[in-house]
Amino acid sequence: MKNILVTGGAGFIGSEFVRYMVERYPDYHIICFDKLTYAGNLDNLLPVSDEPNYRFERGDIADREAVRQALETHNIDTIVNFAAESHVDRSILAADAFVHTDVVGVYILLDESKNHGIERFLHVSTDEVYGDIPQGFSAEGDAFAPNSPYAASKAGGELMVRAYHVTHGLNTVVTRGSNTYGPYQYPEKVLPLFITEAIDDRPLPVYGDGKQVRDWLFVHDHVTGIDTALHKGEAGEAYNIAGEDLRHNIDVTHMLLAGLGKPADLIKHVPDREGHDRRYAMQADKLRALGWQREYTFERGVALTIDWYRDNEWWWRKIKTGEYMDYYKRQYMARLAAAEGSSES
């Protein structure tokens, strides 16, 4: 690996990967290719912007000409694809952009990888492809049963990755990460939403009874998992990157409020997300066998994350304007009104 195209590298996990790779592998050239949608943010890449082994190119993975040019200009041999529409609630409001990027975009990237002789293609996927897991733990060979338009589009893209390996012999690896949190996460996802809202003493909209279960993974651990799979994963294989730390949403919410020193009456139980998966759970034995280990407990990761949002209001306050507020109103105003008087102490 010499020249790595990191698509979606201006987003939350992608930018952590870029920052990590630029420092960890000074001999690699890291080229970030990103459309800069509402979720893409060059502020996330400020820590590496002057590094000699880092470049940024603005482009859409579904734009064949833009992809071809980036591959040729930078003599790319490796692709790590983070680019996606990533928020389940937005996919319920409108799924067009999800099909465009998570399905068509992945196909274009794969097809140009085949044409360009790319030596390694790592695709970043999600535990949501397995669907709701009422009990037990998903292993890599389990069937897909995606339930949200987001999860379905990720499953579609992933199946195309499999097809390009089997049919065209492309050297692919897939990672399936669990719920990831940490610094630089766009404040639509539950942890940064609740932390930033609580800082401002605003209500925290917990969907339904809050007894849904998610498996939490600190962003640095997700990125080291991808690094491990990229360098050591077997071609054609998929690897779960699981935090193996299952929590009920309501417990996570209380933990955030305690960490921030805010009262529990900020909690509002609002009408549930449509089609809401109750539980995700995976085991990471296959990746562990390659030498990966999780470094951060949830307690440590949450404390670091709270501190980061407290110390970096410059980063999130300017996001919570304009398009963000339009989305917030569409997603939450009616829900919060329906929850009036249902606060929890």
Return residues touching ligand DAU (CB under 6 A).
86-88, 126-128, 178-179, 189-190, 193, 205-207, 212, 214, 249, 273, 280
Select the residue interacting with ligand NAD from 4, 5, 6, 12 (CB under 6 A): 12
Map residues 69-98 to x or -, x wherever contact with ligand NAD holds by CB under 6 A.
Answer: -------------xxx-x------------
- Given ligand NAD, ligand DAU, none, residue 206, with its beta carbon under 5 to 8 Å by kind, binds ligand DAU
- Restricting to residues 185-214, which ones interact with ligand NAD according to CB under 6 A? 186
Ranges assigned E (strand) in the chain: 3-7, 29-34, 54-58, 78-81, 120-126, 172-177, 179-181, 204-207, 213-218, 237-241, 246-248, 267-270
**Active-site residue numbers?**
127-128, 150
CA distance 294 to 38: 30
- Given ligand DAU, ligand NAD, none, residue 124, with its beta carbon under 5 to 8 Å by kind, binds ligand NAD
Q: Which two tokens stand for residue 149?
A: 């338009």
**Total residues interacting with ligand NAD, rule: CB under 6 A:** 29
CA distance 81 to 8: 7
- Restricting to residues 241-300, which ones interact with ligand NAD according to CB under 6 A? none
Q: Is there a contact between 212 and 133 (Cβ–Cβ < 8 Å)?
A: no
- Given ligand DAU, ligand NAD, none, residue 82, with its beta carbon under 5 to 8 Å by kind, binds ligand NAD
Establish if 105 lies at the interface with ligand NAD (CB under 6 A).
yes
CA distance 150 to 111: 22
Smallest CA-to-CA distance from 20 within 227, 189, 209, 254 is with 227
- Given ligand NAD, ligand DAU, none, residue 214, with its beta carbon under 5 to 8 Å by kind, binds ligand DAU
Select the residue interacting with ligand NAD from 1, 36, 199, 336 (CB under 6 A): 36
User: CA separation (Å) from 172 to 5, 15, 137, 257, 336?
Assistant: 14, 21, 24, 42, 44
- Which residues partner with 33 through β-bridges? 7, 57
Smallest CA-to-CA distance from 6 within 31, 42, 36, 40 is with 31
Q: Of 36-44, 163-171, 284-292, 298-306, which segment contacts ligand NAD by CB under 6 A?
A: 36-44
Q: Of 136-144, 174-182, 226-234, 317-325, which segment contacts ligand NAD by CB under 6 A?
A: 174-182
Sheet holding 246-248, edge to edge: 179-181, 213-218, 246-248
Q: Which helix (H) or strand (E) holds 174?
A: strand 172-177
Q: Which two tokens stand for residue 342?
A: 């249902």
Q: How far is the CB of 340 from ligand NAD (least distance, A)?
A: 30
Q: Of 7-15, 71-79, 158-166, 258-266, which segment contacts ligand NAD by CB under 6 A?
A: 7-15
Q: How far is the CB of 319 from ligand DAU (least distance, A)?
A: 15
Query: By C-beta, is 282 or 339 nearer to ligand NAD?
Result: 282
Q: How far is the CB of 138 from ligand NAD (least distance, A)?
A: 13
Query: By C-beta, is 66 or 170 nearer to ligand NAD?
Result: 66
CA distance 74 to 189: 33
**148: number of Cβ within 10 Å:** 22
Establish if 177 lies at the interface with ligand NAD (CB under 6 A).
yes
Q: Which two tokens stand for residue 54?
A: 């880092």
Let me know the angle formed at the C-alpha of 189 by 333 and 187, rounded to the nearest 5 degrees: 80
Chain residues that interact with ligand NAD, rule: CB under 6 A: 7-8, 10-14, 34-37, 39-40, 60-62, 82-84, 86, 101, 105, 124, 126, 154, 177, 179-180, 186
